[in-house]
Chain A
Amino acid sequence: EVQLVESGGGLVQPGRSLKLSCAASGFTFSNYYMAWVRQAPKKGLEWVATISTSGSRTYYPDSVKGRFTISRDNAKSSLYLQMNSLKSEDTATYYCARHSTGMDYVMDAWGQGASVTVSS
């Protein structure tokens, strides 16, 4: 069974940093592109980052580019999101997601989410 379990969420002050982790199991992690998607309270979904299988290529929307860094450790089947210079608008539930192998960037498995609140 595919499982994605996020951790590391919490309350953080504006301007500070936070690192999320995602532990993957039930599939060969190193064979899949991975992503982070967030959802602000009572709002829709927003793609945040994608990383290639080796970690050599990363992709971000303008809203987080330069502040967030996605990375992975294939030996540990783990995905990470380093979030710096956090803003109140980064408050959201952050989901770890697996891209399908079809290279069409559809997300076919999701974690249960980690809550991040940015507030003083």
Chain B
Amino acid sequence: GQNIDQPTEMTATEGAIVQINCTYQTSGFNGLFWYQQHAGEAPTFLSYNVLDGLEEKGRFSSFLSRSKGYSYLLLKELQMKDSASYLCAVYNTDKLIFGTGTRLQVFP
């Protein structure tokens, strides 16, 4: 079957670093996406990894290990506006499969 696991909720303090993990077991793999979704809004694209390693984009970085079926999203210098849900999604053979999302709350 297809399975994508990520923590349901996380909390962190403004200015800190937080790592959101995602593990997956899928029948196929053509890449992994991270999306950000603020409450009541559309998900928006953050990152895409298809090869092992770290992709850095400003305060956000995403890591992938295909052999371990594992990814993480790293958020540095947290800001209040980073409070949102973060969705991990794996591109299986022909479509995206989403995890249930991690709700991150950033406190002052």
Say whether A associates with B: no
User: What is the interface of chain B, defined by CB distance below 8 A to chain A?
Assistant: none
